[in-house]
Amino acid sequence: MNEDPRTHPVSSQPATLDKLSHGLWLGLQVLMIGLLILVAWRATHPMTWVGLGVFWVIYCSQRLVTRWVGAPTWFALLVGAWAVMSIGQLEGAFVVFPMFFLAVYVFSPRISAVVVAALTLGVVTMLVGHIGWNIGAMTGPTIGAAVAWTLGVGFQLLHREATAKARALDALVAAREEALASSRKAGEADERMRLAGDIHDTVAQGLSSIHMLLTAVESQLEAASSARAGEAGVAEAGGAPDSGRKRAAAQHPAGQPEIEAVHQRMLTQVRLARSTASENLAETRRIIAALQPAPLEGAALPVALARLASSTPLGEKLSFETDGAPRPLPDEVEEGLLRCAQSLVSNVVRHAGADRAKLSLTFHPGDVILDVVDNGAGFDPSDAIDRGATGGSLGLSGVYRRVQALGGEMTIESAPGEGTGISITVPTTGYDRVDGAGSNTRREGEAQ
């Protein structure tokens, strides 16, 4: 399970160390004030009072002085006042112990080591001057200085490392959020591409079929109008309207049945156009609502493909057949193959100029094959795929993406002037259909 870096224990270390640092700083202030009170209580030498007063003013003016001249200068002034305070009073020398911690706070570890060593030498000299030479005067300040420097530097290094880890975690969180944002954008782009493919395979192709059907109706209406205009011309050339109509009827005894046949064909095509428009309107609404293909609702894939073949302008020129034992297929396979068939049949109608085409569905134990073959103009497959890759077409490139998403293969056999054959093979062994649920899942192990 992925752990959020922001909840990692290391991320709370800087805050904990900040609290500890604040506590140590307060303790240092208490120690310093306590020692200064002790010096004032025992002070008898005038220089002690002068040094104590100057020391207190400099110490309390830390922020102001450091803003003007910097922390090292502030510490140097503090050392000078401490030296004056300690000349005439033994207790003044004890103030050096909190000053060890201040040195670590003000300087870097290397420089603070030198400063602490110099302060240790100074306090040993003062103690020897007050009480004479002995082991305690030398070892006491030395041990205190070593402990103070070690604790101070150790705490500094620990705080620095924790801060670095916290910054690294912040960078990790930022990188993770950026990756999630990029992933969301990629998902949105994929969804837009999928929606574009769905709309292309349904609405655009249906409207294209409607356009072709209505174009055919328009041509037939123009032909009928021309025929009627010819009859009117014959009537005018003969003089009397009645005699002209009689002569036209005598010359074209089958004219009236032909007109009726044309009207009947037009009516059939208009009805087909209206039916196609209605189905595509319903399809668009279903794409927006649930992205489910309307032809598959309540119909198996062979029935949906047969319906597709019968609703194109090619009419009987496009045949449909199945081979093998039909069986229910996973929902995504049925939908994907139907979308592919819609796109390929639309290409045949719009571009092939074929007088014969065949749509077939073949069932095998482990896969299913969809074939679309026509005897039309043909094309160069590489050119079509290149146009799709550069965004110029959603046709074959969209079909290819669908086939890839289903884990299948697409084969194109075509050449200019030699027709086209496209075969799509999709495996079905990687799915288990869930009875009654209307959904399906890949079997674990085969989905990878």
Q: What is the CA radius of gyration of the chain?
A: 47
User: Is residue 170 located within the same domain as residue 309?
Assistant: no
Distance (Å, rounded) from C-alpha 209 to C-alpha 211?
5
Residue 156: inside a domain: yes
In a domain, 213, yes or no: no
Residue 426 β-bridge partners: 368
In a domain, 390, yes or no: yes
What is the Cα–Cα distance from 431 to 332, expressed in whole angstroms?
A: 10
Task: Examine the domain organization and report whether 168 and 305 are in the same domain.
Answer: no
Find the largest Cα–Cα distance for the chain: 156
Query: Which pLDDT score is estimated for 318?
Result: 85
Domain end point (choices 174, 195, 229): 174
Residue 123: C-alpha distances to residues 30, 89, 130, 329 (Å): 21, 12, 11, 92
Q: 31-35, long-range: CB within 8 Å, 24+ apart, which pairs? A: 31/97, 31/98, 32/59, 32/95, 32/98, 35/91, 35/94, 35/95, 35/97, 35/98
Q: Is residue 330 assigned to a domain? A: yes
| Domain of residue 127, residue span | 5-174
- pLDDT at res. 7: 47
User: What's the Cα-to-Cα distance from 364 to each of 323, 368, 433, rounded to whole Å?
Assistant: 9, 6, 17
Last residue of a domain, one of 174, 191, 223: 174
Q: What is the pLDDT of residues 187-214, one digit of tens each?
A: 766 676 667 666 666 666 666 677 677 6
Query: Do residue 165 and residue 311 come from a single domain?
Result: no
167 shares its domain with 307: no
- Considering only CA atoms, which of 331, 329, 309 is closest in space to residue 320? 309
Cβ distance 40 to 52 under 8 Å?
A: yes
Low-confidence ranges of the chain (pLDDT < 50): 1-11, 248, 252, 290-298, 388-393, 432-448
What are the residues whose beta carbons fall under 8 Å from the beta carbon of 388, sequence distance 6 or more?
394, 395, 396, 397, 398, 400
Interatomic CA distance for residues 190 and 167, integer angstroms? 34
**Rounded to the nearest 10 degrees, what angle do helices 255-289 and 205-238 cross at?**
160
Has residue 376 been placed in a domain? yes
Per-residue pLDDT tens digits for 81-114: 888 887 767 777 778 888 887 888 788 878 888 8
Residues 307, 448, single domain; the answer is yes
Kind of pairing between the strands at 357-363 and 318-323? parallel
pLDDT of residue 11: 47
The neighbouring-strand residues paired with 367 are 427
Spatial distance between the Cα atoms of 188 and 278, rounded to a whole number of angstroms: 30
Inter-helix orientation angle 135-199/396-405, to 10°: 120
pTM equals 0.39
Based on the fold, state whether residues 161 and 305 are members of the same structural domain: no
Number of domains in the chain: 2
In which residue are the tokens 């830390």 written? 62
CATH code of the domain covering residue 325: 3.30.565.10
Residue 197 belongs to a domain? no
Q: Note the pLDDT of residue 426.
A: 92
Question: How far, in Å, CA of 230 to CA of 249, rounded?
Answer: 12
Domain-terminating residue out of 174, 202, 218: 174
3-state secondary structure the chain: CCCCHHHCHHHHHHHHHHHHHHHHHHHHHHHHHHHHHHHHHHCCCHHHHHHHHHHHHHHHCHHHHHHHHCHHHHHHHHHHHHHHHHHCCHHHHHHHHHHHHHHHHHCCHHHHHHHHHHHHHHHHHHHHHHHCCCHHHHHHHHHHHHHHHHHHHHHHHHHHHHHHHHHHHHHHHHHHHHHHHHHHHHHHHHHHHHHHHHHHHHHHHHHHHHHHHHHHHHHHHHHHHHHHHHHHHHHHHHCCHHHHHHHHHHHCCCHHHHHHHHHHHHHHHHHHHHHHHHHHHHHHHHHHHCCCCHHHCCCCHHHHHHHHHHCCCCHHHEEEEEECCCCCCCHHHHHHHHHHHHHHHHHHHHHHCCCCEEEEEEECCCEEEEEEEECCCCCCHHHHHHHHHCCCCCCHHHHHHHHHHCCCEEEEEECCCCCEEEEEEEECCCEEEECCCCEEEECCCCCC
- Please tell me the predicted confidence (pLDDT) of residue 443: 36
